[in-house]
């Protein structure tokens, strides 16, 4: 039996997923989280095998939750779900430790297939994403600028794009304001941007934020 936790700030989405997954004889939903804080606490549940995590969960960026879960339980499989097609941000999320990524429009059989795949300790890659990875490896498709960002730079980038101030972000990450400012400068340089509003536009345009 695969023990699953659902982390999404929309009750109706959790209910829909719970209903779909209840039709699979080897699935059991044993926990739910309605915000990022609750989602991070799922790492304390040793009986959870797979977390299905909303990329834009309330309170915290899904990337922050992913990072926290992977730090506390490296063995935990985390399947990210977002509004945008998988080709927009899946490669970055996989690099950050996600076990796989699905867009909201996927069908029930694909969700079940993805959960079974990540539960076996493998990464779930859709055909579209596999094609993109092959294209990039062959030099046919250029990598987007945000692929140059380190894990921490990407985390800072998304939080700033969501409107968090440097001071609040420093408190959130337990870093000094000077350190966060340095990360911000690096992000701006690598992306060729000059303001937080441009960061937000870039994130939205590239499907990194909803």
Give per-residue pLDDT as tens, 195-204: 999 999 988 8
128-149 confidence digits (pLDDT tens): 777 777 776 666 666 778 878 8
- Average pLDDT along the chain: 87
pLDDT at site 139: 63
- Nearest partner of 175 among 200, 156, 197, 188, judged by Cα: 156
**In terms of pLDDT, which residue wins out, 99 or 94?**
99
d(CA 29, CA 45): 13
- Whether the CB-CB separation of 202 and 85 falls below 8 Å is answered with no
pLDDT at site 127: 78
- Nearest partner of 7 among 61, 84, 86, judged by Cα: 61
Strand partners, 51: 5, 78
**In terms of pLDDT, which residue wins out, 163 or 90?**
163
| Number of CB atoms found within 10 A of residue 117's CB | 18
Give the mean model confidence (pLDDT) for residues 46-63: 87
pLDDT at site 187: 93
pLDDT at site 149: 85
pLDDT > 70: what percent of the chain? 93
Number of continuous H segments (helices) and E segments (strands) in the chain:
10, 5
SS3 31: strand
- Nearest partner of 210 among 4, 51, 63, judged by Cα: 63
**In terms of pLDDT, which residue wins out, 41 or 206?**
41
SS3 64: helix
Give the mean model confidence (pLDDT) for residues 76-104: 81
Q: How many CA atoms lie within 13 A of 2 on its CB side?
A: 25
pLDDT exceeds cutoff 90 at 172? no
Give the mean model confidence (pLDDT) for residues 115-121: 96
- 139 burial via Cβ count (<10 Å: 0-12, 13-18, 19+): exposed
SS3 162: coil
pLDDT at site 155: 84
Alpha carbon 161 to chain centroid, angstroms: 15
Phi then psi dihedrals of residue 9, to 5 deg: -85, 0
Q: Which residue has the tokens 């990450």?
A: 173
pLDDT exceeds cutoff 90 at 186? yes
């Amino acid at each position: 039996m695969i023990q699953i936790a659902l982390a999404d700030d929309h009750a109706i989405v959790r209910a829909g997923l719970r209903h779909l997954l209840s039709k699979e004889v080897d699935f059991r939903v044993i926990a739910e989280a309605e915000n990022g804080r609750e989602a991070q606490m799922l790492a304390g549940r040793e009986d959870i095998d797979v977390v299905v995590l909303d990329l834009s969960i309330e309170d915290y960026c899904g990337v922050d939750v992913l990072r926290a879960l992977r730090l506390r339980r490296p063995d935990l499989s985390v399947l990210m779900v977002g509004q945008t097609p998988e080709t927009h941000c899946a490669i970055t999320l996989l690099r950050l430790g996600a076990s796989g990524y699905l867009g909201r429009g996927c069908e029930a059989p694909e969700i079940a297939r993805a959960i079974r795949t990540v539960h076996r300790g493998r990464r779930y890659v859709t055909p579209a994403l596999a094609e993109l990875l092959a294209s990039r490896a062959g030099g046919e498709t250029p990598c987007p600028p945000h692929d140059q960002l380190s894990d921490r730079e990407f985390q800072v980038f998304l939080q700033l794009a969501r409107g968090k101030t440097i001071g609040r972000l420093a408190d959130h990450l337990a870093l000094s304001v000077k350190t966060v400012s340095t990360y911000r400068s690096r992000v701006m340089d690598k992306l060729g941007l000059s303001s937080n509003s441009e960061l937000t536009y870039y994130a939205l345009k590239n499907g990194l934020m909803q």
